[in-house]
Amino acid sequence: MTDLSSYNNSWYKKEIGASRLKQVCWYFTNIVFFLNPLIPGSSVKRTLLRWFGAKIGKGVVIKPAVNIKYPWKLRIGDHSWIGEKVWIDNLADISIGDHVCISQGAMLLTGNHDYTKPTFDLVVKGIVLENGVWIGARALVCPGLRCHTHAVLSALSVATKDLEAYTIYQGNPAVPVRQRTFSTSL
C-alpha cells in the first residue's frame, strides 16, 4: 500500500490567485447567475465576470448553465459564444480569442494528475483558443493546449495535442480529418 501522507496539496493555497472570501463569493455567484438555467441573459454575466477579474470583450454571449471555476484566470475576446452547460475548469489561465464558439457541453480542463507518482500530484497548464476557433458540442480540450486560429474540434472529440490552424479535428484522440475552408459568397 502506498503512503499518501507526503501528498502535496499546497497548490490550492498559493496558485488560486484570490482570497478565500473572493472564492466563496464567486462560488455562490456562479451558482446563482451562471449554473442556474433560469438566468438567460449575457449582460449581467459579463459584468459579474469583470467584477471578479475576468477580461471580457464586447459582444460575448454566455448561455445558461455555464460553469466557470475561477473568473480571475479567464480572458474572452470580442464576439465569442459560450454555449449551454460549458465547463471552464480553469485552474490555470484560459485565453479565448475573438469570434470563438464553444458549443454546448464542451469542457476546457486545465488540471490533471500525475499518475506516475504515488502522491498523484496535481498538474495544471493553461489553454489558448485563438481567434475563430470552434469547439464542438461535448468536446474536451485537455490541459496545456493551443488551438490555433480557426481550428475546429468536432462534437464529442478529445484534443490531446495542439490543433493546427484552419484544420478540422475529430475523434478520441482527435486527429486532423480535413482543412477548414470558407465560402467566398455571402
Q: Report d(CA 130, CA 111) in Å as an integer.
A: 20
**10 occurs within a structural domain:** no
pLDDT of residue 157: 98
Containing domain of residue 37, as a range?
18-173
- Each residue's pLDDT tens digit, 104-156: 999 999 999 989 988 888 899 999 999 999 999 999 999 999 999 999 999 99
**178 occurs within a structural domain:** no
Three-state DSSP at 124 gives: strand
pLDDT of residue 42: 95
Q: Are 166 and 151 in contact (CB under 8 A)?
A: yes
**80 occurs within a structural domain:** yes
pLDDT of residue 120: 85
pLDDT of residue 15: 78
**76 occurs within a structural domain:** yes
Q: For residue 133, give the CATH number of its domain.
A: 2.160.10.10
**179 occurs within a structural domain:** no
Number of domains comprising the chain: 1
**63 occurs within a structural domain:** yes
Q: What are the two backbone dihedrals, phi and then psi, of residue 67, each rounded to the nearest 5 degrees?
A: -115, 120
pLDDT of residue 175: 98
**Cβ neighbours of residue 74 under 8 Å, at least 6 residues apart?**
49, 54, 55, 68, 88, 90, 93, 94, 96
**153 occurs within a structural domain:** yes
Enumerate residue ranges in the chain where pLDDT < 70.
1-14, 186
